[in-house]
Amino acid sequence: MERAELARMIDHTLLAPETTPGQIAMFCAEATELGVGAVCVSPNQLPLPADSLPDGVAVATVIGFPSGAHRSVAKAAEARLAVLDGADELDMVIDLGAAAAEMWNAVEADIAVVRAAAPDVVLKVIIESAMLRVPERIVAACRAAEAAGADFVKTSTGFHPSGGASLEAVSVMAETVGGRLGVKASGGIRDAATALAMVDAGATRLGCSASRAILDGL
């Protein structure tokens, strides 16, 4: 894979809660230099400064992050505000408690509320695949996301103690959505070999904070 092709698959990510405006400016400059497809920042960093990114670089933010333990109406309000502040894409965390209890109708309903609040932007649904552990739960979470109108399923926040993306989870997710949705691998991807393995397993997007190291490793 060519460097530019892989770069366009990357959501260059900076979600540390202590991030400063100065760090955001340097982050956007790095994203521009690397030629990534999107940046992903916390909602309080929006709107990004004017002209901080070139045309064609999407702006993503997170919803219900990182726990997912927010009321659906709060996630919906956060989504609406994010869109008003210039977000092109939303990465929302599912109701992890409902998923752990295998209450898949509740998981789907939570996603659907956010979808309805922001119908015109890309919606990526974070299922915390490492927490779900077994393929059957990963499949069920993906099916709930698809039924609720999501555009992508995403492995992880990168903040959950259960861990980040795995090749096995990405493969199960890709097989479940069958190309109808995208698959974003995120959490623990820090080098080129891991990034390429995730793509081979079925990932169509990569969430990375180590984007430069990954691309330099090609």
Question: What's the rounded Cα separation, in Å, for the pair 56 and 134?
Answer: 37
Q: Which of 11, 91, 95, 110 does the annotation list as catalytic?
A: 91
51 is catalytic: no
Tell me which H or E stretch contains 96.
Answer: helix 96-100
- Chain-centroid distance of CA 185 in Å reads 8
Question: What's the rounded Cα separation, in Å, for the pair 62 and 123?
Answer: 10
Please answer whether residues 170 and 181 qualify as being in contact, where contact means their C-beta atoms are separated by less than 8 angstroms: no
Question: What's the rounded Cα separation, in Å, for the pair 105 and 195?
Answer: 33
Q: Which of 11, 75, 151, 154 does the annotation list as catalytic?
A: 154
Q: Cα torsion for 126, 159, 23, 205, to the nearest 10°?
A: -30
85 is catalytic: no
Please answer whether residues 183 and 204 qualify as being in contact, where contact means their C-beta atoms are separated by less than 8 angstroms: yes
Most distant CA pair in the chain, distance: 45
184 is catalytic: yes
Q: Which of 75, 110, 124, 184 does the annotation list as catalytic?
A: 184
Known catalytic residues are: 91, 154, 184
